[in-house]
Structure 1
């Protein structure tokens, strides 16, 4: 990926008084299908996207890591590598603190450095801005210490996931960090969240385009709604005698509901997860056959389940999906990410992508009186050095 970092390098020099020695990038992601399945040991099918967090860095003095972000002016942070790394202010740096703590816990000797971040992944937009920050932090800290490649890719993803759990308070699954680390250009990543097995699925047909529409409704996965649903899934699995909902099928959920073994919310959550795991497997078959009509139908089924059974959609996401499905050449549409706002995705014939994008923007503005940014994206490469 060719990327101009001169403005960021200049900003680093102004901030720290010298030029950076290295640069890395970590992408955000769009999940094609497989929502809220990762923490239920299911399958997910994300792609890395062009939007990313970049970090430039240079060795520092003493035993301190100094952190700054273009998006967080005046909220710089310092990590003392000789002390216990704890959560604190500013809050955005807790993701970085968690990563540093995780690397140190592996016995890796981190070095003092200065790091400056810049990201175009929308914060709270459901495109994994937090995971891209975590992975960029890890690569910058490892690069500064001469330890690039010291942590295997999937282990690095799990380390970053743990940082989000422990330092940001979000009980996320493994998908976001895994695709940021392990994404390949032109491919979706089929990830088995039970055992970490991965399969790269081609997603580079020039005749189709993936649009991302941003409601600009910001979600906060630490506000309780996400954790509540995760707890409901785990409770349902336990009542069904299963280690996770991956081990359960649709008839078992229906029978348990009829027998009164699950409460109403547990039935709904389990029904979504079990169905979504099956839809994800079927989606891979459809993509490999270039059967975009079938894939689009599975996208719509996913959105309806997320809206009705998982209850994580919102009026704006539903409107985007409805607007998109009314356009010629659109195969399917669905919300993507954790929900409660964020983005929806639209799979459309390339020749009709501009018209579909315009229809969504105009229809959204007419209904809600504000903008809905829409951009096309492709399956991009995972995290790595720049230049």
Structure 2
């Protein structure tokens, strides 16, 4: 699949600019195994890069202007690096503009370039196509002009570009897109950015994403509300337990002990966060022991918490998980991402995938009149230079 993508991108570049690209960059989307809504609560997350990627082809231009072409959108724009960089109504271009602005603000010197890109990352499915675009584009300019930028700084500058566009994301998406390794998940400490790799050899299992194909409009307002409720919860915990600096320092017993000082919603959000931080640590232990059954059990527990305590699920996502729970061949399933739509991430025993896909698709269509989208994913490498042998 990615070989076709690379060939098509390079061919398009040659036909457009009449030359071979000087640099080819591959930048992946990401999944998160466990640790949802934890990045802004100073906890741990457990993401991985996947084999759905954006392919970029670059060359230095002989002009002050830079030309960037999005093959899949049949769209392009030109930018003069000497002009002030401002937000545009053409949204996808803002991610590129944001990256250029970050490079300029950090004092990096580079000149014009031509770039084309194409993708196998489904947009709007919670697989972080925007992080792949930011980090892949930045990595390409870095390689083209031999800029001295560490991988972690590529991720941080990608995050800053997304903030400039107007999305106040955590670091997880960009970090996993840049730092991913094949068959490894990354445990990221969202407070310190320390990280460690854990084996994710799902030899007997397939990672499959079922995309609900819905997006409920609650997402943005509910996300902001959850953040505020968590801030209220941790403030109450700190005032009662001076040793507590963040949720990761809390026990479930401490949350229970101040239940009468919290609103019901703040209590439920706080309890979920403390339990989810603990689940990430348990998931790492399960992976280290090759215990996929325990990992799956933790995934189901996370979904239950996201649905009942954090209340960011929806009927479509709950139906998918509830249906898969009845299948012995499905060891784990949960909603992935912000919630209110998007994907579930599922671990399914090999040999049962097609039967389960067909069954769930039929039931889902009957229940909601919506076609389920399905993505098979493998854990892959982070943003890298493609060397054409």
What's the counterpart of residue 360 of structure 2? 360
Q: Classify the secondary structure of the residue corresponding to 2:197.
A: strand
SS of 1:33's partner is coil
User: What's the secondary structure of 1:342's corresponding residue?
Assistant: strand
Give the corresponding residue for 1:248. Answer: 250
Matched positions, count: 381
User: What do the CA deviations read for 1:255-305 (whole angstroms, capped 9, x no partner)?
Assistant: 3331x2x33332222222111111111111112222222211110110111
What does residue 334 of structure 2 align with? Answer: 334
Q: Does 1:8 align with 2:9?
A: yes
Which residue of the partner structure matches residue 121 of structure 2?
Answer: 121
Q: How does 1:70-219 map to 2 (within 5 A)?
A: 70-74=71-75, 76-147=76-147, 150-167=148-165, 169-218=166-215
Question: Structure 1 residues 268, 105: CA separation in 2 closer, same or farther (over 3 Å shift)?
Answer: same
CA offset digits 1:115-136 (Å, max 9, x no partner)? 1121121111111111111111
Alpha-carbon distance in 1 for matches of 2:332, 2:153 = 34
Deviates more, 1:209-218 or 1:57-66: 57-66
> What is the SS of the residue equivalent to 1:216?
strand
1:355 CA drift (Å): 2.3
* Structure 2: segments with no counterpart, 5+ residues: 239-243
- Alpha-carbon distance change, 57 to 309 in structure 1, aligned in 2, over 3 angstroms: same
The aligned residue for residue 45 of structure 1 is 46
What root-mean-square deviation, in Å, do the aligned CA atoms of Structure 1 and Structure 2 show?
2.1
Secondary structure in structure 1 of the residue aligned to 2:234: helix
TM-aligned CA deviation for residue 16 of structure 1: 4.1
How far has the Cα of 1:221 moved from its partner? 9.6
Range 101-110 or range 24-33, more displaced: 101-110
Q: CA separation in 2, counterparts of 1:338 and 1:295?
A: 20
TM-score, length basis structure 1: 0.92
SS of equivalent residue, structure 1 residue 357: helix
**How many Å apart are 1:111 and its aligned residue?**
2.0
Displacement of 1:333? 0.5
Partner SS, residue 199 of structure 1:
strand
Rate the CA distance shift 1:219–1:175 in 2: closer, same or farther, 3 A. Answer: farther
Distance 2:250 2:31 in 1: 27
Q: For residues 175-209 of structure 1, what are the alpha-carbon distances to aligned partners after superposition, in whole Å with 9 as ceiling and x for unaligned?
A: 11111101100111111111112111111232121
C-alpha displacement of 1:230: 2.3
Q: Secondary structure at the match of 2:29?
A: strand
Partner SS for 1:134: helix
Measured in 1, the distance between the counterparts of 2:225 and 2:100 equals 28
Other-structure match for 2:62:
61
Q: What is the match of residue 29 of structure 2?
A: 28
- Helix, strand or coil: the match of 2:209? strand
Distance in 2 separating the partners of 1:221 and 1:100? 32
Tell me which moved more, 232-241 or 104-113: 232-241
CA–CA separation in structure 1 for the residues paired with 2:57 and 2:273? 40
